[in-house]
Amino acid sequence: MIGSGTRRFIPRPFKTVMKPSYLYVQNLRYEMFLRRIGASKKEILILATITKSGTHYMRFLIANYIKHFRNGQDNPVAAREIDILFPNGWHHAYLGEHSYKSPTPLLRLIGLHDIPRSHIPFQRSLWNNSRVLHIYRNPLDYAVSLYMYKYEYYEHLSGTMSGPVEVLDAHLDEYVEMYLSFRETERKGNTSLLSIAYEDLIRYPEVSLGTVLRWLGCEPVPAVVDKAVQFSSEHLTALVGAGEIWQRNGTVPVNPKLISDFTNKLIEKGSVGSWKDYFDKSDIRRIEKRLDGFAINLYDFILDS
Amino acid sequence: MVTGILKTLLINKLPRSVKAGLRPAYRYGLGVRYKRFLVRLQTQPENLLILSTIARSGTHYAMFLFANYLKLITGNSDGPATPEEMNTMLPNVWHKAYLGGRPFGHSGTRGYREPTPYLAHLGLHDITRAHYEYMPSYWGRSPILHLYRNPFDYAVSIYHYKFKHMGDFPMGEEQGVASAVAGPADALDIRFDDYVKMYLSYRSAARGLRSQLLRISYEDLRRYPEACLRMIIRWLGREPEPSQIQTAVYYSSIKTVNQLEGAGGLIHPDRIDPKIKFARDGSIGQWKEYFTNKEVTHFKKRFADVDIDLDEFTLDS
């Protein structure tokens, strides 16, 4: 479509007027692409999550479920295997059309073609007639995980943020935009959207996976669910909501000891409430006030394990 | 709509083929009447949560959870909701309240009562219960919460509640078969088609991407009530408040409900005999005390014939 360079020079009123036509064409192109790859919107489950909220843990759960369900295989899905089974980010693969790769045909077992991931707000026109699974996490632990795994341990950005407090200050608007877009969509109804809190996902993985499968119209087999949970929980960084593709594919140099020390610390604490080591009372009050401005109550989130 | 003698004539005297031909128009008429009733109540189908469950699968447990949560979240709780309170807050059985009784009688027979205004906190007008298969013509725009249970425990529960004492109280439509029901296996035999139709209709609606349909198993609801209640509240677009979820679950526990029922509370005001407890122990896997291996094999095959694999259900705790 129109490149980002060109887009910058188009006047705002003109953009507003053109938006419906633009969305219409975008949607048309998306549907044509789906047809070309032999899929329909109905067969796409968009894993639309706030980053660092268990996206990869959910991918492992589903991957282990379908592999074990099909083959009764007794090996967990490996870290690198997950990106072969579910290779697509929704935005790049389905809108950009450049990086689409065929996902595992095992997804047919649960009536799907693909489970692309996404970290953008709800896209009503493009995602209608698809299922959308939304996972989010309390904003304080989100900030800790984002700081550690996106900044501190990521060589290119290490040292650019002083800690989780600064990270949350910088990312809160983005978090709120994402969070509210899904809440509003749920309130309006008429969509196939299911939200799960990361805190519930790791405390009750069997129920979470079971509910997702029921929502897809399948009956979760208890023994296979148990096995999928057992296998998926071996991926500690995914379990603590910190899975990153660069950790798995080795494209970025990392200090594995730093990562594993911090990950183990989170595991010991149950992954919920790690924010207490970083936020003082005045930080919390400030965050509370900012969230109040969006009619979000910080204490409605699960802040403690 | 068509009432009285004319209706009786239409139902009883018309040849089957004529009735079949008139059915779409009849259904259309009912649909229009249903929508008009909602307009009169100043509500929309989107604001009715249909708690559509297979009987004995946690319908009233879910209602207690909702009632307690609503009381807590609106600051009106002074302890567990009593059965009377719960029934006053969520009084409506869908077909009786919104259509006018079975089989959808005339509008004058509607038993609608005003539900609690606390429901506005969840963006709802009513949470109304039903034990029907999925009805897209009425429920197409309503959120649907479907609860179901493994068929063996369902049979045990329905046997104890419906059939065991039916001989002592000869009323209700199944009285004729009550004497033939010697145990849960017979009860499952009688209710097999009902169960299958209900279960498959929701499973297939979910597969068909029916929006705002949430299926939860009784076994999950019973074992992980906090997680399930939170998931339901989120599904309605609200952020569940953690401590109130915890308290609502505590207030709705089987133990609390049994105590309230023991103190004379009527969970199901229309039950056959007030002395028969509505809430038993609700445990998972109680069927093992009632079904022989031969009966299990027989039912596994019957269910497999209609594309339901019993090994996929949670049969044990």
Pick from A186, A192, A207: CB nearest B237: A186
- pLDDT (0 to 100) of residue B279: 59
Tell me if chain A has a CB within 8 Å of the CB of B281: no
- pLDDT (0 to 100) of residue B271: 58
Tell me if chain B has a CB within 8 Å of the CB of A26: no
User: Could you give the 3-state DSSP secondary structure of residue B144?
Assistant: strand
Q: How far is CA B74 from CA B71, B119, B127, B230, B241, in A?
A: 5, 10, 17, 17, 12
- CATH class of the domain comprising B41-312: alpha beta
Q: Is the per-residue pLDDT at B245 higher than 80?
A: yes
Q: Taking CB atoms and an 8 Å cutoff, what residues of chain B touch A176?
A: none
> How does residue B274 score in pLDDT terms, banded at 50, 70 and 90?
low
Q: Taking CB atoms and an 8 Å cutoff, what residues of chain B touch A190?
A: 46, 141, 211-212
Q: Taking CB atoms and an 8 Å cutoff, what residues of chain A touch B123?
A: 187
User: B241–A300: do the CB atoms touch at under 8 Å?
Assistant: yes
Least Cα separation, residue B232 to chain A (angstroms): 9
- pLDDT (0 to 100) of residue B127: 98
Pick from A189, A200, A300: CB nearest B143: A189
> How does residue B149 score in pLDDT terms, banded at 50, 70 and 90?
very high
Which of the following CATH numbers is that of domain A22-140+181-263: 3.40.50.300, 1.10.10.10, 3.50.50.60, 3.30.2020.30?
Answer: 3.40.50.300
Is ipTM beyond 0.85? yes
- pLDDT (0 to 100) of residue B205: 95
Pick from A207, A215, A218: CB nearest B214: A215
- pLDDT (0 to 100) of residue A189: 85
Of A37-51, B93-107, B123-137, the range with the lowest mean pLDDT is B93-107
Q: Which of A204, A229, A272, A305 to mutate to test the interface with B (most CBs of B within 10 A)?
A: A204
Residue with tokens 């609606």: B205
> How does residue B215 score in pLDDT terms, banded at 50, 70 and 90?
very high
User: B207–A186: do the CB atoms touch at under 8 Å?
Assistant: no
| Secondary structure element (H or E) that encloses residue B51, with its range | strand B48-53
Arithmetic mean of pLDDT, B158-182: 67
Is B99 in contact with B184 (CB distance < 8 Å)? Answer: no
Least Cα separation, residue A63 to chain B (angstroms): 18
Tell me if chain B has a CB within 8 Å of the CB of A109: no
Q: Is the per-residue pLDDT at B4 higher than 60?
A: no
Tell me if chain B has a CB within 8 Å of the CB of A203: yes
Is A279 in contact with A287 (CB distance < 8 Å)? Answer: yes
Q: Is the per-residue pLDDT at B5 higher than 60?
A: no
- pLDDT (0 to 100) of residue B254: 85
- pLDDT (0 to 100) of residue A231: 92
Tell me if chain B has a CB within 8 Å of the CB of A111: yes
Least Cα separation, residue B30 to chain A (angstroms): 23
Q: Which residue of B has its CA nearest to A300?
A: B241
Q: How far is CA A301 from CA A138, A165, A297, in A?
A: 5, 18, 8
Q: Extract the residue ranges of chain A whose pLDDT is less than 70.
A: 1-7, 73, 241-250, 252-254
- State pTM to two decimals: 0.89
Tell me if chain A has a CB within 8 Å of the CB of B241: yes
Q: Which residue of A has its CA nearest to B214?
A: A215
Q: Which two tokens stand for residue B306?
A: 């209609």
Gap between the terminal Cα atoms of chain A: 46
Least Cα separation, residue A122 to chain B (angstroms): 14
CA A262 remoteness from chain centre: 21
Domain ranges in chain A are 22-140+181-263
Tell me if chain B has a CB within 8 Å of the CB of A296: yes
Of A3-12, A170-179, B139-148, B268-277, the range with the lowest mean pLDDT is B268-277
User: B234–A196: do the CB atoms touch at under 8 Å?
Assistant: yes
- pLDDT (0 to 100) of residue B264: 64
Q: Which residue of B has its CA nearest to A112?
A: B207
Q: Taking CB atoms and an 8 Å cutoff, what residues of chain B touch A208?
A: 227
Tell me if chain A has a CB within 8 Å of the CB of B234: yes
User: B123–A191: do the CB atoms touch at under 8 Å?
Assistant: no
- pLDDT (0 to 100) of residue B107: 63
Residues 172-191 on A with a CB inside 8 Å of B are: 183-191
Of A5-19, A247-261, B15-29, B217-231, the range with the lowest mean pLDDT is A247-261
